[in-house]
Structure formats: C-alpha cells, structure tokens
Amino acid sequence: MGQAVKVAVIGAGVAGLYTARELQREGHQVVVFERNHRLGGVWLYDPRTESDPIGIDPTREIIHSSLYPNMRTNLPRQVMCFTDYPFPRRETGDPRTFPVHEEVLWFLNKFAEDFELTELIRFNTEVVRVERVDKKKDKWVVESNTRGSDSLGQEVFQAVVICVGHCTEPRLAEVPGIEKWPGYQIHSHNYRVPEPFQGQVVVMIGLGPSSFDMSREIAKVAKEVHVATRNPDVRVLKLENHDNIWLHYMVERVHGDRLVAFKDGSSVYADVIFHCTGYKYHYPFLETNGIVTVVDNCVGPLYKHVFPPALAPWLSFIGIPQKAVIFQTVELQSKWVVCVLSGKVLLPDEKEMMTDVERYYQKMGDRGLPKRYTHHLYPNEAEYFDWLREQTGMPPFEEWRKQMVAECLINSRANYDKYRDEWNDSYWDGIIKAASVP
C-alpha cells in the first residue's frame, strides 16, 4: 500500500461512488460531499423542475437531475456497470436489457451498500468553495453548506476529486430573433411529462438522445413536432412511422409572430421552442485563480481530461468525457487517479503535461474541430481507454463490451423506435458466456 491521503470527493453519482470505493480500497481517508439527500446523481429522479425553464436565472434553485419518468437507458445494462461489478436483473424490478431509470438507481444503491460507501457520504451538503490554502498544492480548503445549518463548514484536505457531473446547467442554441419571439421556451433539463404540450406545435432544437426520446413522447399529444438538426443533409423530412414528427435543417430565424424559419426553406408557427442542446460544464465552487477555466465548454487545461497540470495530482476531475461509455470511463479514470495519489504511478512533470494538452488542442485545430468538442471521445475512445489501462495495469476490456456498444449504436441509428426491445439477448448471452470460459 502506498501513502494514505485525505481526499474530498465532490458528488455521489456514478463517478463519486466508484472513486470513493477505489480510494477506500487503497486505504485513503475519504469524505464524499453530496448536496442531494440521496446518492445517484443523474439517476435520482426529481419530480420538481426549475423556476426558469431555460435555466438562465442565476438565482433559481438548481434541480440536479434531468430525468423524466419514462426514461429508459440508451445502452444495454451489461455496459452500464463496472467490470468487477455487473448490473444484474432482479425479479422485482424491470428485467429488460435497457431498463427504465429506476433500475440504474437501484444498482448504484446496491453498489454503495455492498462496499459500505454510504457511511462516507455527507448528504444535503453542498460544496460552495474549493481553494488551495497558502498556494500549497496539497492543501485544499473545502467549504460546504449543510441544509438546515446556518454556518458554513470548512475542512482541509490534501486532495480533491471533482465528480459533479455535467448534465445540469443548460446550454442553449443561439437563435436569431429569439428576444422578440413570444412563445414558450424550455430546455430538456426541465422536461418531465408530455401533457403540457397537448395540441401544441413544438420546435425542438438538437438531435441527440434526449431529443430522440422526447420528440416521440411529446408527439403523442402535441399537434406537430419539428426537430431542427445541424445536419446539412436534412431537408424537411417526415419521420417514417410517425404522423407528426418532421426533421429540418437548423433554425434560421424566429419572428415576433411566432414564425420559426428553418434553413431548409420551410417554416412553421410554433407555440414552443424546446432546447435539446445539451449542457455546460459548471464548477461555481472552484477557485483556482484562473488556472482552470471553462471556455466554450472546454474545461482546461486538463491532462487526459483529468488533471490540471499545475495542480496535479491534488486536484482532479472524473467523468468529464462525452460520447464515451461513462461507466468504463469512470472506472479507468478513477483507478488512475487513485494510483497516482498513492504514489504507485507517477505523472510526467507539469511542463510535459502542458505540452501534451497543447498537442491535443493542436490536433483538434488541425481537424477543424471547435473547442467545445474537446471532451468528445468518439471515435477515439478505445485509444484513450488503452492509454489509461496501461497506466493502471488493468486488463483490457473484454472485446464483447466494445462490440456491444458498437452494435447498439448501429441498431439505434437503423431502428430507433424498436432497437431496445428487439435486442437479441440470447445472442449476447451466448457471446458473454463463451468469453467468460477460461
């Protein structure tokens, strides 16, 4: 065992729970701060929505989770778990391969129970400030606000691991004319049920997984749903198997009479603009004197999306990557952070790490990618995972996990309405069984 470090983990979602387990296993002293009353992060459904439906008002009370009651996973449960801790089916729950969200919360609670993590968590405790003490790299003050208490708590830690997720702070599309557009606007973060959209004409901006699910759910009660995508190949297209969902190429401008004009030449009078445009990285508690910033949704500089070179290894972020299988990302990143904190794995020096980050930015620039894509791993996920595995001495992920994710992507593109229910379980059970025979 290496050196024992006193570590603050912020957040008790997938990332915070796994990181806490890894830290504890290595003999570190762990405190997990969680502002919610229960663990689970995104997977802890909250029926409340925020007072500002597009999340601009800075004084609004933040509701963490964007889940809606009918939400089902978009990945098979076999890859929504950790390699040493599978996601079983239980008799009393939803046994489907792509279960409804409550099942994932159950799984996370079971994980926490089995590894006695709940004792480590300070619930109802929001971290409001994280800052270095006396410019010492391994001395951090964590200031927190516990619900019901009238003074802030302060405690000093050697290391802080930020696991606060990034699906809470809405990102909005820039829509020319929106200041004068008189209809109702909402961001997917504040969507729960379709009923409020009864009989309405809804324009949905964005074509990610949330918009796929929500457009279909809303279309059952709305008059029309028009989905605007950035894909320039799209020209007004009615979705197959749906009577009232259309695809369009980007919104060009909206007008004071509710008209929404698309770049494909079409237009509609809409009642609702529904932003399905994703989220922003947001760390209002982090004070680093400009060392770590978020610019155009790039958190940086971060060595391998985890360590700010100037503050490493005492400050780290787990779960930043997007377009990557989050459970596997979290597993490898947290093992790496823990090995580094224990002194078992050495990081390059600050200058080398900075050079690596700059090289990464340079490569993105060469490929014409905007800064906001910095943390998108696809299609380089495998390369990133291999690199992390090498650091931590983890065996490779089984081949079937990669195949399963790839197949899921193909199926969802080909047959979005049915891919989850037409998943061939017996085929995959066979593959997994064959792979587990030594």
Ligand X SMILES: Cc1cc2nc3c(=O)[nH]c(=O)nc-3n(C[C@H](O)[C@H](O)[C@H](O)COP(=O)(O)OP(=O)(O)OC[C@H]3O[C@@H](n4cnc5c(N)ncnc54)[C@H](O)[C@@H]3O)c2cc1C
* Residues in contact with ligand X by the rule CB under 6 A: 10-16, 33-36, 41-43, 64, 66-67, 71, 73-75, 80, 126-127, 163-165, 167, 210, 285, 319, 326
Q: Is residue 426 within the footprint of ligand NAG (CB under 6 A)?
A: yes
Q: How far is the CB of 15 from ligand X (least distance, A)?
A: 3
Give the Cα separation of 44 and 35 in Å (integer). Answer: 12
| Rounded-to-5 percentages of helix, strand, coil across the chain | 30, 20, 45
- Strand segments (E) across 103-158: 121-122, 125-132, 140-146, 153-157
Nearer to ligand X, 11 or 308 (CB): 11
Q: How far is the CB of 284 from ligand X (least distance, A)?
A: 7
Q: Which residue is nearest to ligand NAG (CB)?
A: 427
426's contact among ligand NAG, ligand X, none, with CB below 5 to 8 A by partner kind, is ligand NAG
The residue from 62, 198, 424, 435 that contacts ligand NAG (CB under 6 A) is 424
Q: What is the dihedral of CA 193, 199, 202, 208, to 10 degrees?
A: 40
Site track 370-409 with ligand NAG (rule: CB under 6 A), x = hit? ----------------------------------------
Give the Cα separation of 148 and 2 in Å (integer). Answer: 39
Site for ligand NAG in 345-364 (CB under 6 A): none
Q: How far is the CB of 397 from ligand NAG (least distance, A)?
A: 22
Exposure of 408 by Cβ count < 10 A (0-12 exposed, 13-18 middle, 19+ buried)?
buried
Q: Is residue 415 within the footprint of ligand NAG (CB under 6 A)?
A: no
User: How many Cβ atoms are within 10 Å of 74's Cβ, its own excluded?
Assistant: 18
CB–CB of 172/194 below 8 Å?
A: no
Binding residues for ligand NAG, rule CB under 6 A, total: 3
Question: Does a cis peptide bond (omega within 30 degrees of 0) precede residue 170?
Answer: no
Q: How far is the CB of 419 from ligand NAG (least distance, A)?
A: 12
Q: Is residue 427 within the footprint of ligand NAG (CB under 6 A)?
A: yes
Give me Rg for the CA atoms of the chain: 22
Residues in the site for ligand NAG, rule: CB under 6 A? Answer: 424, 426-427
